[in-house]
Chains A and B, each alone.
Chain A
């Protein structure tokens, strides 16, 4: 009973430390929520309103018909009509438009004579990903146009040809927001928990109150539990709020079950609490703790598969990402949300998390005393 009483006392003290200051009270609830919504809107690979200019030298019925398909697409927005070739370079250089569609004077003649007519596209490659996606959109517009020409007997297929039939599973309209938003909660709750826990020991070290805690009749395990609970609680609370926001605000499908979600988030948050406390127990000042948590967080965000796929990395780096807790929860969250994974399906992601927690937490407790001396 004594242990429980001591742990309760410690936990209350930790909560008071976080909640007594109105600024820090606000910081753990307000900004994470705002971020979630702002970034949920901002983080998408789907292009809308890509500004483009048209340089139509053909000026025929056919060229206008093809161009009208771009005008009708919500992915593109016509910004300027060019009258001379020399206007192309400056307009792209100055970022007035993302791409220029150029139709040469022979366009409709070629089309009628059965020669392939050329649609020239010049894209600003400064953001190569945007360039590739935009080219993909153009590719499908032109493909559709070609198929319609055949269907309307405007041109005849004078030889065998292939027709691409694309389908995508789990996400038929290829909405990248689902992919990003389902994982975003994991990322933001990691940031909150990491900051909260990494400062907890370091703050007391900096003010000298940690020595008092060490000489008080608490053993390191009790201190560890007391320091972990607030982070755990706020972390899971934030993460669940984000999950609800993803489903009810952003309309991300939730195909899994709530217990699986809670279990996965619990495993993740306890790991992050462990890492945060480990960083904290190694730091003598708050500055060290914060910079330390950044040294942890930056690579783990980049190597998590959040924005750039793990599959694109070289093999050795893919293996390296296995020790990244964020990678596991992001995979688990996506599986739970989009594929309806149950506990057994996300277990391969959960046990590495528990293993990392089982390593980080005791090490942090051991460091409490040993680093202080």
Chain B
């Protein structure tokens, strides 16, 4: 028999074994198929950074028509749900109890200030505990006041126009819907889980249970072992990815502006880097408990925090940015955001793809060296 035939025979054997192992323990299929679906639904329907119907208390110490006009602007804004109160004491009580997130306060000399001095203060107090939300609310307030100016202008009433006004365009996501960037990020997270955690567990389990010894005495070579271990989880990961993209695009109408080919190639690279990392962990520690801990600490959590998935990397201190360069998810988050929202922009995709290729090669070759055919680690 030629070496090639022998190679295929060995591969068939080891792949059959791995597939049986996956099928017999449905927990890995649950991780690849069920978890992505559950998470997508949660993200698609529920999780968003965009606040609407923010409860605010409106306190008018001045009940003139000008003050009521301002308060009507808050009533009409889709971002706010207003509660009208007569005293600041009640309002501050609601704010401390978290029943409202902010207070809009017009003092009793509001009309006078407005008409005599042309400048009337609108006092806005926001609960600053959730700083991000507070900032968004401040932005919405600014929008409401701007609307007041526009409406007055349209009605031909005298109004001071701002000396400089901002005309803003948000590219790729005109309405700034946070779901559109959270769903592509979620796909990164799911693939990280499958690639690192699942792969790490599988090989560590063989060592821990002693079945690795049984494999080592067969004519299987290291390359076969490596390929046989990686292929099934690679397929599972790609399935999870495909499923997530499909649900995201069809059900949640997340835009996908890149090409499927690019998505396939680049996610394959990411999957290789992740599963290479998973293999390296398991080959290095050989104990499931430790392999699991390391894949969470070095794989999953960095993918959540150090990838730009939610938190902006450019705003972190320098040393965090340096650490983030070794996190594969960082590159794929960039890739998926660009592919989903902007399209095939190769000047962005290519450097990231190169980084992922480099990491895949590094991790897999290190894992290859670590999977020695010796019993002692």
A209 located at the interface, meaning its Cβ lies under 8 Å from any Cβ of chain B in the complex:
no
Expressed in whole angstroms, the minimum distance between the Cβ of A337 and any Cβ of chain B is 10
Residues in A whose Cβ lies below 8 Å from that of B305: 38-39, 42-43
A334 and B301 CA atoms in complex are apart in Å by: 21
Residues in A whose Cβ lies below 8 Å from that of B265: none
Segment 285-305 of B: residues with Cβ below 8 Å from A: 285, 287-290, 292-294, 296-298, 301, 304-305
Residue of A nearest to B31 (CB): A291
A142 and B114 CA atoms in complex are apart in Å by: 21
Are B165 and A171 within 8 A (Cβ)? Answer: no
Are B180 and A121 within 8 A (Cβ)? Answer: no
Are B165 and A166 within 8 A (Cβ)? Answer: no
Residue of A nearest to B323 (CB): A38
Are B27 and A24 within 8 A (Cβ)? Answer: no
Q: In the complex, which of the residues B45, B48, B290, B323 contacts A24, with contact meaning CB atoms closer than 8 Å?
A: B290
A114 and B145 CA atoms in complex are apart in Å by: 20
The 0/1 profile, CB within 8 Å of A marked 1, for residues 190-205 of chain B is 0001000110011001
Residues in B whose Cβ lies below 8 Å from that of A308: 47-49, 178, 182, 310
A317 and B149 CA atoms in complex are apart in Å by: 37
B358 located at the interface, meaning its Cβ lies under 8 Å from any Cβ of chain A in the complex:
no
Segment 44-62 of A: residues with Cβ below 8 Å from B: 44-51
Are B166 and A199 within 8 A (Cβ)? Answer: no
A123 and B95 CA atoms in complex are apart in Å by: 33
Q: In the complex, which of the residues A94, A286, A287, A311 contacts B347, with contact meaning CB atoms closer than 8 Å?
A: A94
Are B301 and A126 within 8 A (Cβ)? Answer: no
The 0/1 profile, CB within 8 Å of B marked 1, for residues 278-301 of chain A is 000001011110111011001101
* Interface majority SS (helix, strand, loop, mixed), chain B: helix
Expressed in whole angstroms, the minimum distance between the Cβ of B328 and any Cβ of chain A is 16
Residues in B whose Cβ lies below 8 Å from that of A175: 131
Residue of A nearest to B165 (CB): A116
B170 located at the interface, meaning its Cβ lies under 8 Å from any Cβ of chain A in the complex:
yes
Query: How many A-B Cβ pairs are below 8 Å?
Result: 376
B38 located at the interface, meaning its Cβ lies under 8 Å from any Cβ of chain A in the complex:
yes
Are A295 and B30 within 8 A (Cβ)? Answer: yes
Among the 9-residue stretches B154-162, B233-241, B359-367, the one with 4 or more Cβ atoms under 8 Å from chain A is B154-162
Q: In the complex, which of the residues A24, A38, A160 contacts B293, with contact meaning CB atoms closer than 8 Å?
A: A24
A337 and B316 CA atoms in complex are apart in Å by: 23
Expressed in whole angstroms, the minimum distance between the Cβ of A317 and any Cβ of chain B is 4
B173 located at the interface, meaning its Cβ lies under 8 Å from any Cβ of chain A in the complex:
yes
A32 and B301 CA atoms in complex are apart in Å by: 11
A35 located at the interface, meaning its Cβ lies under 8 Å from any Cβ of chain B in the complex:
yes
Are B170 and A290 within 8 A (Cβ)? Answer: no
Are B166 and A121 within 8 A (Cβ)? Answer: yes
B260 located at the interface, meaning its Cβ lies under 8 Å from any Cβ of chain A in the complex:
no
Residue of A nearest to B133 (CB): A309
Are B290 and A21 within 8 A (Cβ)? Answer: yes
Known contacts A45-B132, A195-B296, A312-B50, A139 near B166 by CB under 8 Å: yes
Residues in A whose Cβ lies below 8 Å from that of B223: none
Are A157 and B49 within 8 A (Cβ)? Answer: no
Residue of B nearest to A301 (CB): B304
